[in-house]
Structure 1
Amino acid sequence: MKNIDTLEHVLKYIDANLDKTLSVEELARQAGYSPYHFSRVFSWGLGTSMMEYVRLRKMNMAAYYLSLPLKIIDIAMALGFETHSGFSKAFKKHFNCTPDAYRSQAQKNYPQHPSLVSLTTYTIGGLLMKPRIVTQPEISIVGYKITTSNIDGQNNQDIAAMWRNYHQSGDMVRLHNEPFVKNHGEYGVCMPEDVDSKSFDYIIGVAATTASTTYQSARIPAATYAVFTVPASVPDNFVQNIQETWNYIFNEWFPTSGYELDTVGLDYEYYPIDSLDDQSLLCDIYLPIRKQS
């Protein structure tokens, strides 16, 4: 089963159980993956975390139910709220008005699931894309950091803006001129998400021989990695080709590979020194893996 089918199954399961308290662990069981692995699959597919999607789905269904002749307490119970006041508080926080006030303008449009069709787009790699499986030693990274979130795709905007600023502001030249630079390939590293804030750090950096107080530091743990090479691209196609490679990895490769993401490592993108040639951009995607249990 492709992951797009798995996601569609889980979305239907969520809809059928909105009156219950859902958890990451339960949804991962429905998908047949570990909680960590399916959290990444879900964020890839929906652009948000599982629990944030459940919250948004409840609010969207609440807006629809308010267009029907239903009591507010019945709507609250159908969406897993124990009290009228608890539901009203959550609704007002999301829509900036009370359920009673919203009801006068509610539209009878059933909220559809997000379209997952775009996730099947990967014209560059196709079924012939094969990863290298490598054992990678620990790597010390030094560079620049931002904090972002994958809610509403904010991370895509923030990370793209960070790379533009990195190239245009002189930060790139300044970093590569530092004496601690081990090699001039560049890393884009996603750090683990903070459960409470739903945010995570993203670091652009280089491998370093020593730590630095001037820059941000990160450690990529030693682990077994699946390495996917994005075909050489001209600048106009580079970002699209990277995204299509991610689509292929999660939708095609993982479901039949016998592997799942390993919590020991970090996933990251590596841009070799050859990638600094504007006419032929290169990227390797590293994913920490372990045999699926």
Structure 2
Amino acid sequence: MTQLFLLQKVIDYIDEHIKDDINTESLAKLISYSPFHFSRIFHQTTGYTPMDYVQKRKLQFALVDLLKEKRIIDIALEYGFETHAGFTKSFKRCFGSPPSLYKMHCPISVPQRLCLESLIQKKTGGVVLQPKIISKPPFRVAGKTFETRMGNIAFTRDAPAFWNQRILSEESIETTLYNLLTPKKHGEYCFNLSAPESEDHFTYLFAVNFEEGTTVPEGILKFTVKATTYAVFKTPLVPVEQFVSSIKGTWQYILEDWLPDSQYEVDEDSYDFEYYDEHCHDWEYDKVYMEIYLPIKEK
């Protein structure tokens, strides 16, 4: 049996025994590996240590129980956490906020089965976690547009990480926008905007936050994004040289694996976009990530 097949066996075992007490030694024994060798190849393949993955997977399954209005202490004990405080601390570390505040952001479907072979083929760079569901109010951005001749491009998902093809590093678009618009919050937005009158080109928008009352120079486009519900995905942490392939692979995973098995469909009346903040700065971090915003509605 191949190493990938054996690791998939471990991944499936974790899901099937998600509420049990699981440790590295028992997982290694399952496929007749030493704990040291198993831990090393598991981390190389998934981007997580075995127990870090187990904990994050337990927390992802726990999201479903949060929606069922179960008591947090009961959920914690059911998934093997000894205390309410320990569960809350781990939850906040994984999702960025405590479970009491995160309920409104939980996906309504259970985590999909992870296929390691599919993730490797897509070059995601690791396991893609369950998304955060948010209802985002209208917001404004302003930025520079690039007209591009390419057929069948209507949404950002049709040409992921397009900045890598269209924006040259020497153009310094990011620096120019921050100097011109001085937004309070750091972060860049990338949109592919369809052109209804033409099927062979689209408009690519690279933008930053735009504060009301700010003077927008000629040549900069103001763009308002309407209120929308989004599934927000983080790309796996990867070295910068794998960043573009990770973004493309994560988009592919979302559309081919996550979306068909979820209880959502794409809201075609809204824009999808890519969001980049300081966590994609390779001069600050050894590994980087960005966020993908997919507009959704329940099926």
TM-score by length of 2: 0.51
Q: Hey, what does 1:240 align to over in structure 2?
A: 245
Q: Hey, what does 2:7 align to over in structure 1?
A: none
* Larger radius of gyration between Structure 1 and Structure 2: 1
Farther off after superposition, 220-229 or 269-278 = 269-278
Deviations 1:152-172 (A, max 9, x none): 899679642333x2x322332
Q: Equivalents in 1 of 2:258, 2:172: separation in Å?
A: 38
- In the alignment, residue 286 of structure 1 is paired with which amino acid? Y
Say if 1:144 and 1:205, in contact at 8 Å, map to a contact too. yes
Structure 2 SS opposite 1:124? coil
Are the structure 2 counterparts of residues 211 and 250 from structure 1 closer, same or farther at C-alpha, using a change threshold of 3 Å?
Answer: farther
Q: Hey, what does 1:185 align to over in structure 2?
A: 187
Say if 1:148 and 1:201, in contact at 8 Å, map to a contact too. yes
Q: Hey, what does 2:42 align to over in structure 1?
A: none
Q: Hey, what does 1:16 align to over in structure 2?
A: none
Deviations 1:226-256 (A, max 9, x none): 0010122222100000011011001101101
Say if 1:148 and 1:155, in contact at 8 Å, map to a contact too. no
Farther off after superposition, 241-250 or 279-288 = 279-288
Structure 2 SS opposite 1:244? helix
Q: Equivalents in 2 of 1:176, 1:187: separation in Å?
A: 13
Q: Structure 1 residue 213 and structure 2 residue 217: aligned?
A: yes
Say if 1:185 and 1:273, in contact at 8 Å, map to a contact too. yes
- Candidates 268, 273, 277, aligned match of 2:273: 268
Deviations 1:13-52 (A, max 9, x none): xxxxxxxxxxxxxxxxxxxxxxxxxxxxxxxxxxxxxxxx
- Candidates 264, 276, 281, aligned match of 2:288: 281
- In the alignment, residue 229 of structure 1 is paired with which amino acid? K
Find runs of 4+ consecutive structure 1 residues off by over 4 angstroms: 117-120, 152-158
Structure 2 SS opposite 1:148? strand
Q: Hey, what does 2:229 align to over in structure 1?
A: 224
Q: Which runs of 5+ in 1 are unaligned?
A: 1-116
- In the alignment, residue 171 of structure 2 is paired with which amino acid? S
Deviations 1:170-209 (A, max 9, x none): 3322221235413221111122342533422111111110
- In the alignment, residue 125 of structure 2 is paired with which amino acid? I
Q: Equivalents in 2 of 1:222, 1:148: separation in Å?
A: 27
Q: Structure 1 residue 132 and structure 2 residue 139: aligned?
A: no
Structure 2 SS opposite 1:233? coil
Q: Hey, what does 1:113 align to over in structure 2?
A: none
Structure 2 SS opposite 1:212? coil
Q: Equivalents in 2 of 1:199, 1:119: separation in Å?
A: 31
Q: Hey, what does 1:143 align to over in structure 2?
A: 143
Structure 2 SS opposite 1:263? coil
| C-alpha displacement of 1:273 | 2.3
Q: Equivalents in 2 of 1:213, 1:178: separation in Å?
A: 8
Q: Equivalents in 1 of 2:149, 2:120: separation in Å?
A: 20
Farther off after superposition, 221-230 or 261-270 = 261-270
TM-score by length of 1: 0.52
Structure 2 SS opposite 1:129? coil
Say if 2:125 and 2:237, in contact at 8 Å, map to a contact too. no
Farther off after superposition, 169-178 or 199-208 = 169-178
RMSD: 2.9
Query: Greater strand percent: which structure?
Result: 1
Structure 2 SS opposite 1:177? helix
Q: Equivalents in 2 of 1:201, 1:260: separation in Å?
A: 25
Identical columns (%): 28
| C-alpha displacement of 1:216 | 1.9
Q: Equivalents in 2 of 1:119, 1:125: separation in Å?
A: 8
